[in-house]
Amino acid sequence: MTKTSVGAAAFAVSSLVLLAGCAGTSEGAPADRDLTVVVAVEPVSLDPCDTQDAANAVVLRSNVTESLTHIDPATGEVEPLLAESWEQKDDRTWTFSLREGVTFQDGSAFDAEAAAASINRVVDPELNCQNLDQFPYPLTATAIDATTLEIVSETPDSILPLRISYADISAPSTPADQKTSEPVGTGPYSFEDWVQGESVTLARYDGYWGDSPEATGVTYVYRSEPSVRAGMAKTGEASIAVPVSVQDATTDDRTKEYSDNRVFFLRTPTEKAPFTDIRVRQAAAYAIDKETIVASLMDRAGVPTDQIVASTVNGFVDGYTGPGYDPEKAKELLAEAKADGVDVDAPFDLVTRPDLFPGSDEVIQAVHQNLQEAGFSVSILSLDTDAWLQLLRAPFPEDQKANIIAISHDNVSGDASFTFPKYMGSEGSNSTVRSPEIDALLQQAELAVGDERSGLYQEAASYEYDEVGAFLPIALQSKLLMLGPGIEYEPNGLTGIELRISDVHFAN
């Protein structure tokens, strides 16, 4: 095996969940058959603690790495995976009973010590893992015995079994104090090779505890143009192309549509001119003709929305309607703010990345035109994924001029705690919102369950939309993928971040 280094280093969870099923077997593994998956962009990281970004997750999650729990994409329920059951001991303490007979791809045993080390690594702020964003409050994992894990959170967390599904488990050999580009997990595929700028290769792990997948290996290649990705699937050069644009999609069943509760929205900088004044933020909202943009440029891949979460998320506000397209209203608000001394002419960037979603360049150009027509001094700044992430996540560069950043955010969990704290909380990793009122509501929601939890999240959302207005929601998105000849695969709500190669089959 070769390993090429590429870097310097909403629903309530019941208090007791029982084993949902038995482990499969690896008998009768099929003959050698490899897959090629063409994606839009190369992973930024292959560290198991960095699977929040879709480019990383689509390679690793449920392929190389697994977690203690898993979300059923059909029901949204939390299911056992590496944990067979769990129980809440008190409002801050949970115990997990772990699956026996599981090994990592390097041959080491999966046990409570390994699980504890992995989870504590994810939540270590010094390591700056992407997945830390899913854990708003500190917690500590401790092995009680080989198959019993205890997790104690600093704050009561009613959805911890759901939250722990975002902690990918890695082998004890994983460095505790630095990132790795050679991941080792418990999944059905082992990491084989990463050739920077070209490909990532995985090989089937024959010691996998579950059912053996059909494909003996998979190679991920990157092509930024949607038409190129689609062409590779049409000719059979690629087994799966994801995502593809509406314009390049076929009309037969080789093109599959799926939704992962993803919303396309823009985030404004509330602490930098000209967006320090709410009237300027409102003007930007009135300036964008989202109905026309979505209908003409996104077609099957989007529906206009006024909120930053989908209707299946418990923070969605039924009946809420945001500012509609009204360029004259936008100009009036800018003139009013300017008369009061606001520097509405301050230049700013509309920040995007080419792979945000298929056809995003054209959408961003349309938004840019709308903003210019309303009187904003705006330029498009297109960055690679790594540079885009630096502007998305705090701490923001102090010398960076004001920017509106384009975001495509998914929430497959159904719980607003995976969106609102990091985008609306004053200490949120992706937040430009500074509101004590919202912070208080979010803190209350984290301690609540059921309808009370949903109501508090909806109250926080309503307050942000009406009193802060940092976000410019545009579209609830769906995505398209294309299959190569002889390939069978049915996407689901997790496909955008978890393309399980075990679910891919050969027609003959």
Is 465 in contact with 435 (CB distance < 8 Å)? no
Handedness of CA 271, 275, 281, 284 (dihedral sign): negative
**pLDDT reported for residue 29:** 47
**Cα–Cα distance measured from residue 433 to residue 315, given in angstroms and rounded to the nearest whole number:** 17
Per-residue pLDDT of 305-353, as tens digits, reads 999 999 999 999 999 999 999 999 999 999 999 999 999 999 999 999 9
Question: Using a CB cutoff of 8 Å and minimum separation of 24, what contacts does 5-8 make?
Answer: 5/181, 5/182, 6/181, 6/194, 6/196, 7/45, 7/179, 7/181
Q: Tell me how many degrees the CA angle 274-374-438 measures, rounded to the nearest 5.
A: 45
Token code pair at residue 223 = 């092509």
**Cα–Cα distance measured from residue 110 to residue 119, given in angstroms and rounded to the nearest whole number:** 13
Is 427 in contact with 21 (CB distance < 8 Å)? no
Place of tokens 């104690």: 152
**pLDDT reported for residue 301:** 86
**Cα–Cα distance measured from residue 249 to residue 227, given in angstroms and rounded to the nearest whole number:** 9
Judged on CB neighbours under 10 Å (0-12, 13-18, 19+), 319 is exposed
Buried b (16+ CB within 10 A) or exposed e, 205-232: beebbbebbbbbbbbbbbbeebebbbbb
| CA-based nearest residue to 119, from 109, 128, 131 | 131
**pLDDT reported for residue 31:** 56
**pLDDT reported for residue 23:** 38
Judged on CB neighbours under 10 Å (0-12, 13-18, 19+), 310 is buried
**Cα–Cα distance measured from residue 41 to residue 482, given in angstroms and rounded to the nearest whole number:** 16
**Cα–Cα distance measured from residue 170 to residue 187, given in angstroms and rounded to the nearest whole number:** 10
Is 253 in contact with 490 (CB distance < 8 Å)? no
* CB-facing half-sphere around the CA of 238: CA atoms within 13 A: 27
Place of tokens 């190129």: 228
Is 209 in contact with 75 (CB distance < 8 Å)? no
Query: pTM higher than 0.95, yes or no?
Result: no
pLDDT tens sequence for the chain (508 residues): 333 333 333 333 333 333 333 333 344 444 579 999 999 999 999 999 999 999 999 999 999 999 999 999 888 899 999 999 999 999 999 999 999 999 999 999 999 999 999 999 999 999 999 999 899 889 999 999 999 999 999 999 999 999 999 999 999 999 999 999 999 999 999 999 999 999 999 999 999 999 999 999 999 999 999 999 999 999 999 999 999 998 899 999 999 999 989 999 999 999 999 999 999 999 999 999 999 999 999 987 899 999 999 999 999 999 999 999 999 999 999 999 999 999 999 999 999 998 899 889 999 999 999 999 999 999 999 999 889 999 999 998 888 889 999 999 999 899 999 999 999 999 999 999 999 999 999 999 999 999 999 999 999 999 999 999 999 999 999 999 999 999 999 999 999 999 999 999 999 8
**pLDDT reported for residue 299:** 80
**pLDDT reported for residue 22:** 37
What dihedral angle (degrees, nearest 10) is formed by the CA atoms of 182, 78, 220, 496? -130
* Alpha-helical runs (H) found in 299-435: 327-339, 360-374, 385-392, 420-424
Is 460 in contact with 445 (CB distance < 8 Å)? yes
Which helix (H) or strand (E) segment holds residue 54: the answer is helix 54-60
